Chain A
Amino acid sequence: MEMKKPTIKSIPYEEFKDNETLESLIKELNKERTNVVVGALDDLINWGRSNSLWSLTFATSCCGIEFMAVGAARYDFARFGFEVTRNSPRQADLIMVAGTITHKMAPVLKRLYDQMADPKYVVAVGGCAISGGPFKGSYHVLNGVDKIIPVDVYIPGCPPRPEAMLYGMMQLQRKVKIEKYFGGKNHRAKKGEMPNEPIIVTNAPIDINENC
């Protein structure tokens, strides 16, 4: 059985950017075909998982306030399946790293990540979490969380607009959909290892890149 294109209800497939990354991933997965029963079960489970991703309440600075706004009245991420946020890493599926990670915070973040149950996802929100952002040259700032934990989606911005966050979270949903739940996980390296290349689903919007 083949892995299908990841479609989600909220936005048509063509309107997403960076479909090539996902397609190359699908291609790779389709090399080893799966049993029909297991494949159907995979689809069912992934449908359920991608529509109930619960985030850990984790925010260090400005992006956290925007993240709260995404959860509140106008933007309301519950509409897209991110029903609630959880205060305990044991109950969370994903961690939105919203804000600058400093030297003192780095081991804490790593520990929180380790405490989460598999399968787990990381979204780097904002310039600071991606690369250090405006504080890149500081003596106490970690330049990018991908140095300590593997990142699934990057959402650029300082802070990103709520729409950008929703878009990034939907990209994560699509990524969850193309996973073999039974036939081995494709997005994680072996225990204790960092994957060589974190898969980047969301890039900076093209028009921003051109202006830079």
Chain B
Amino acid sequence: MNLTFIDIKEFPKRMEEYRYSKGMDFLRDIIGMDWGEEGLGAIYILENTATGENIEVATITANREKPLIPTVCHLWNVAELYEREVYDFFGIYFTKHPDMRRLFLRNDWVGYPLRKDYDTSEAINPIRMENEVTEDVQRPYEIAEDAEQAIIDKQTNKIHGDQYIINIGPQHPATHGVLRFRLALDGEEIKKIDIHCGYIHRGIEKMSESLTYPQILALTDRLDYLSAHQNRHALCMCIEKAMGIEVTDRTQYIRTIMDELQRIDSHLLFLSCAAMDLGAITTFIYGFRDREKLLDILEEVTGGRLIQNYNVIGGVQADITPDFVRKVKEFCQYQKGKIKEYNDVFTYNVITQKRMKGVGVISRADAISYGCTGGTGRASGWACDVRKRHPYALYDKVDFKEIIYNNGDCYDRFWVRLDEILESIHIIEQLIDNIPEGEYKVKTKPIIRIPEGRYSASVEGSRGEFGVYIESRGEKSPYRIKFRPMGLPLIAAMHKILKGAKVADLIAIGATLDYVIPDIDR
């Protein structure tokens, strides 16, 4: 894919053109870039959901002191959080953005970590043990007087002091990790929501810039540990594409089967946790009982239960065990019968239905604008499955249907996942008997260098589109690597979904959106 550079003066107009005349309604990702002396910039990956056409555009500003880029968050809603992320890491200020605060790091953090000239020494940013002061107002940012960009909206208070505010998180069992919501309430109704991320931001992208490619592979598993296999698949695919490595058929079969097993694993955990959040402990136990059977298979083949470290560049780590085929078949047979049990004990329960039906609705247009891929998008009627849109591995050879529901409420989001368990089993059953003989791994060079250029790949993770973007300068380690988080668009859509919802609905909505925080924070 070619990268088109747009002059910063024409940028707002051209982006509007892309959005409205060319119908690029899905902003997949914004990638902040530090191009050294050329300046700072951002790459936008756009997609037309009707035709599947993809483009990459970029803009660049030479001013490193006060880099300014016009915002696009009025065109794509998800840009609001993406741009805050770029501001946080690169210090690029997006003019006319309504809420330009740091997203991941503390307010008192010094410097912008993903810039190439960032000083990582402990002296500048020691571990601060005092509690962080929550800032509701963006910090004033003075722009040079000759700047032609429009005026910055000074104060856009997200939450006013006179509203009734409660904090949920960062340590709260229903946030599935460490995410913090500040809610402004009117009675029981949620008026505004302010999201604070970064409690598990580990700086994986910055670390990757000094690691070799095989070393980076280990970190992708720890992004979204419930789609560990898919994450690694994406990165391996991207590197193989860049180096021109052809993997064998056997590898493709193993990878596809493992991807689907991982998806079942993730959806079973989703079912368990969603049920527990709504107070149904029995379903939690049932889900974990069946998940353990699956983890046994994964462990036997890969050596790891949760984090498997199985894909490597050019193939997989080890061949499948002789028992693998039989065990997977047994599991598929077993799991099919269990869905009814979950439904009897949980899904058709009156309480579940009341708490999920019609709650937390997100329309198709909003789902696209917020970039909510995965189960959330498909529950709203958006056919966003990467396996269908841009088939990879063996997905163009197997027969499966994309699960699509149309109401976009919690109940549909729940059903998408349940149905996908069956669909994944269906995919596995088509492949499991036909695994071809051959090498499970092709030989690669001992030191892996990617030729200069920009490469991207994406896969359907367990909860959305997971993308990898690599800019290489021909070195052993990437110049810049960016992972598209699956969860960030989901929490960006939270305030739209929560409009008019009650506090208790937040739990049901959060559970069915099914985000994983380490994937959001990276």
- Is B a genuine binding partner of A? yes
CB proximity of B176 to chain A, nearest CB, Å: 9
Q: Which of B137-145, B197-205, B327-335, B403-411 contacts A (4 or more CB under 8 A)?
A: B197-205
Q: A134-B218, A139-B120, A140-B201 are in contact. Are A73 and B289 (CB under 8 A)?
A: yes
Judging by beta carbons under 8 Å apart, are A107 and B222 in contact? no
Judging by beta carbons under 8 Å apart, are A161 and B129 in contact? no
Nearest chain-B residue to A140 (Cβ)? B203
Q: Is B285 an interface residue (CB 8 A)?
A: yes
Judging by beta carbons under 8 Å apart, are A104 and B129 in contact? no
Q: Is A108 an interface residue (CB 8 A)?
A: yes
Residues of A within 8 A of B203 (CB): 135, 138-141
Q: A59-B177, A61-B177, A62-B306 are in contact. Are A103 and B106 (CB under 8 A)?
A: yes
CB proximity of A194 to chain B, nearest CB, Å: 12
Task: Give A134 to B518 CA distance when docked, in angstroms.
Answer: 14
Q: Is A22 an interface residue (CB 8 A)?
A: no
Q: A103-B125, A142-B127 are in contact. Are A60 and B199 (CB under 8 A)?
A: yes
Q: Is A64 an interface residue (CB 8 A)?
A: yes
What are the interface flags for B168-188 relative to A under an 8 Å C-beta threshold, 1 for contact and 0 otherwise? 001111000110000000000
Size of the A side of the interface (Cβ < 8 Å), in residues, is: 40
Nearest chain-B residue to A71 (Cβ)? B288
Judging by beta carbons under 8 Å apart, are A65 and B226 in contact? yes
Q: Is B66 an interface residue (CB 8 A)?
A: no
Residues of B within 8 A of A103 (CB): 105-106, 125, 127-128
Residues of A within 8 A of B306 (CB): 62, 65-66, 159
Nearest chain-A residue to B178 (Cβ)? A60
Judging by beta carbons under 8 Å apart, are A110 and B129 in contact? yes
Of residues 117 to 141 in A, which have CB atoms within 8 Å of B's CB atoms? 134-135, 137-141
Q: A99-B200, A102-B198 are in contact. Are A73 and B292 (CB under 8 A)?
A: yes
Judging by beta carbons under 8 Å apart, are B285 and A108 in contact? no
Task: Give A60 to B269 CA distance when docked, in angstroms.
Answer: 16
Judging by beta carbons under 8 Å apart, are B200 and A87 in contact? no
What are the interface flags for A127-163 relative to B under an 8 Å C-beta threshold, 1 for contact and 0 otherwise? 0000000110111111000011000000000110100
Judging by beta carbons under 8 Å apart, are A61 and B292 in contact? no
Size of the B side of the interface (Cβ < 8 Å), in residues, is: 50
Q: A68-B288, A158-B307 are in contact. Are A104 and B171 (CB under 8 A)?
A: no
Most buried by A among B104, B127, B219, B226: B127
Q: A108-B199, A158-B307 are in contact. Are A74 and B292 (CB under 8 A)?
A: yes
Residues of A within 8 A of B198 (CB): 102, 104
Judging by beta carbons under 8 Å apart, are B202 and A135 in contact? yes
Q: Is A100 an interface residue (CB 8 A)?
A: yes
Nearest chain-A residue to B206 (Cβ)? A139
Of residues 95 to 115 in A, which have CB atoms within 8 Å of B's CB atoms? 99-100, 102-108, 110-112
What are the interface flags for B262-297 relative to A under an 8 Å C-beta threshold, 1 for contact and 0 otherwise? 000000010011000000000011101101100100
Q: Is B130 an interface residue (CB 8 A)?
A: yes
Judging by beta carbons under 8 Å apart, are B202 and A102 in contact? yes
Of residues 98 to 150 in B, which have CB atoms within 8 Å of A's CB atoms? 104-106, 113, 118, 120, 125, 127-132
Q: A65-B306, A103-B125, A105-B178 are in contact. Are A58 and B199 (CB under 8 A)?
A: no
Judging by beta carbons under 8 Å apart, are B199 and A64 in contact? no
Q: Is A72 an interface residue (CB 8 A)?
A: yes
Q: Is B442 an interface residue (CB 8 A)?
A: no
Residues of B within 8 A of A57 (CB): 173
CB proximity of A97 to chain B, nearest CB, Å: 11
Task: Give A159 to B269 CA distance when docked, in angstroms.
Answer: 17
Most buried by A among B125, B201, B206, B210: B201
Judging by beta carbons under 8 Å apart, are A141 and B202 in contact? yes
Partner of A74, one of B120, B219, B269, B289: B289
Q: Is A116 an interface residue (CB 8 A)?
A: no
Q: Is B154 an interface residue (CB 8 A)?
A: no
Q: A62-B222, A107-B128 are in contact. Are A140 and B202 (CB under 8 A)?
A: yes
Q: Is B351 an interface residue (CB 8 A)?
A: no
Q: Is A69 an interface residue (CB 8 A)?
A: yes
Judging by beta carbons under 8 Å apart, are A138 and B207 in contact? yes
Q: Is B76 an interface residue (CB 8 A)?
A: no
Task: Give A145 to B210 CA distance when docked, in angstroms.
Answer: 25
Residues of A within 8 A of B201 (CB): 102, 104, 140
Judging by beta carbons under 8 Å apart, are A134 and B222 in contact? yes
Nearest chain-B residue to A158 (Cβ)? B307
Residues of A within 8 A of B132 (CB): 104, 107
Task: Give A65 to B268 CA distance when docked, in angstroms.
Answer: 12
Q: A103-B127, A142-B127 are in contact. Are A159 and B307 (CB under 8 A)?
A: yes
Task: Give A62 to B225 CA distance when docked, in angstroms.
Answer: 6
Of residues 191 to 216 in B, which have CB atoms within 8 Å of A's CB atoms? 198-204, 206-207, 210
Task: Give A137 to B477 CA distance when docked, in angstroms.
Answer: 16
Q: Is B160 an interface residue (CB 8 A)?
A: no
Task: Give A129 to B184 CA distance when docked, in angstroms.
Answer: 34
Residues of A within 8 A of B284 (CB): 72
Residues of A within 8 A of B219 (CB): 134
Nearest chain-B residue to A57 (Cβ)? B173
Judging by beta carbons under 8 Å apart, are B173 and A87 in contact? yes
Nearest chain-B residue to A58 (Cβ)? B171
Residues of A within 8 A of B206 (CB): 138-139
Task: Give A25 to B374 CA distance when docked, in angstroms.
Answer: 54
Task: Give A2 to B426 CA distance when docked, in angstroms.
Answer: 65
Partner of A105, one of B199, B204, B225, B285: B199
Partner of B288, one of A59, A69, A102, A158: A69
Judging by beta carbons under 8 Å apart, are A64 and B105 in contact? no
Nearest chain-A residue to B199 (Cβ)? A105
Known: A72-B289, A87-B172, A108-B171. 16 other contacts (CB 8 A): A60-B178, A61-B177, A61-B200, A62-B225, A62-B518, A65-B226, A69-B292, A72-B284, A74-B289, A103-B106, A103-B128, A104-B201, A108-B199, A137-B210, A139-B118, A140-B105
Q: Can you pick out 21 interface pairs between chain A and chain B where the beta carbons lie within 8 Å of each other?
A: A65-B226, A65-B306, A66-B305, A72-B285, A73-B285, A73-B286, A74-B288, A74-B292, A87-B172, A102-B199, A102-B201, A103-B127, A106-B127, A107-B128, A108-B131, A108-B199, A135-B203, A135-B204, A138-B202, A138-B206, A138-B207
Closest 9 CB pairs of A and B: A72-B288, A73-B289, A138-B203, A62-B225, A61-B518, A135-B202, A74-B292, A105-B199, A139-B120
